[in-house]
Structure 1
Amino acid sequence: MTSKVYIFLIRLYLFILAVQSVSGFLSHIALDTLSKSNCARTRSTSTVTNANDNRINMSNSSNDSSSSSSSPIPPPPSVSMPVYSLASKSEDNRPSMNIVTFTTPVSVKPKLFMVSLYHNTMTKDSFLHSKYGILQLLNKDQKYLVQILGKSSGYDTTDLEDGLNPKEGKCQEKGYAWTTENISFGQSLKEDEGRNAFREIKVLPQCSSYIGLKLMNTMDAGDHVMALCAVVAVGKWDDKQECVIDVDIDSGNNGIDQEKILYSGLLREEGII
């Protein structure tokens, strides 16, 4: 009897072990299946999320592109620039002057300037025809001439008063009569054409500097024409002789008083422009 009980207990023990083993194997399979199922769901969710994100990004990109294309381009910062007036002579020998702030030296050797001139203005047409002009650097005392020289074209005011161009007459009222007292300006030029051209161009007295330009080339630039010019002469106003005299073009001492130069920043501060 004892032997039978003993054998029974052994078989029961082996049965329990077998059941536990099978149960563990099934649990492992179940866990593995569950894990794979979770991974699949995660991948699916991630794919959907990524797809949604991509759609959102594409939408945002499209909106940004649409927004950037429809947004106006901001203006460049207002920088204070020297204020010049370009003096030239028209095809019918009428004097012409304007106001120029879009100008800058672009080369040292050779000395070149780039000057931007409005389309449909007498000064632009005169300069492009004659190919010679005198770029006058204004001083602070001449700030009141900016409204006269820069707010209209010679084509807008064709009536003459006392034989003067209207701009010329208004400058004279301000104490700056246009003058041809520049016969010694540009005399170092080898070309008779250049010397004679400068003699016939009327200028403003008492400017900070006078730069003789010869037109080389032009390029269209929106509402302006860019004129590439060679600097062929430099001059200054001589108070004793009351005329423009030559300055050595290669000299560093050009006699300019930096404190008196007129800049566009001052014109903005005072509401002139």
Structure 2
Amino acid sequence: MLFWLVIFSFHVQTDVPARYTYMAKLIYATEDRLYVADSSLLQVNCPGYVIISVKPSCFTPSQMTDNRAAVLLLQDILLDKGNLNADKYSRLTPISNDTVREADAWFPLIPVQELNLISNMKIILPNLTSVSVAKELVTVTGTVRGVDEETAFVWPVCGICENDLLIELGPNEYLCQKCNSSSQTSTKMSLEVFISCPEIPEPCKVKVKLQQNSIVDMLPTSQENSQGYPLSSVLDHAIGPLCCIVVRGGTNNFILNEIPTLR
């Protein structure tokens, strides 16, 4: 028997624990948290997202933990004392147009226009401020003032599965120990930078671990140097706005990790 999905606004409050089913846009996922949003958040004073605590008893599909899912069907999410929890009774399902067409007895019939509305919803994260705390999502814009050179390195990965456990067969030739492929490799990059940003007064430091796309955009395109790039090539470079999660916050310094680009 097919049933219609009930879209429940995230900002609804109740004093009695209850379970609800949501369709939401996934912003970011960790092992124990989902950062999601729906259109109801545009109507209230919210930071642009809500957090769902994922208990160890709840199965989490790999598309979510790898941040490859754009829209989620969140079934039987527990709302208790203002907190949203996914437990052993909850079901988390990435959905797409293909999933909608394959609706069956356990999966609700979702109007395509509703799916598109959630998928195309623009997410606006709050700016990083001096009162931002750990595990918050923020937007940061700034200028590179320094580089943590211990974090600056590159390494080859499998061009098919992106595994980095490779056996070198010869010059520029590797065998992947995961998928047993000897195809061409790709290069991964790591870089953490110190930035100054207008919202954070000096001498407070802001350190950001960058995603690969941001690293590539910052490096000079006119030179390809297998030995690396001079520090001067990235200093005073303007970056952002970047979507980040606060790893550590405080009066003296902030540590941020850039999250994958919002879809």
**TM-score by structure 1 length?**
0.19
More helix by share: 1
More strand by share: 2
Of structures 1 and 2, the larger Rg is shown by 1
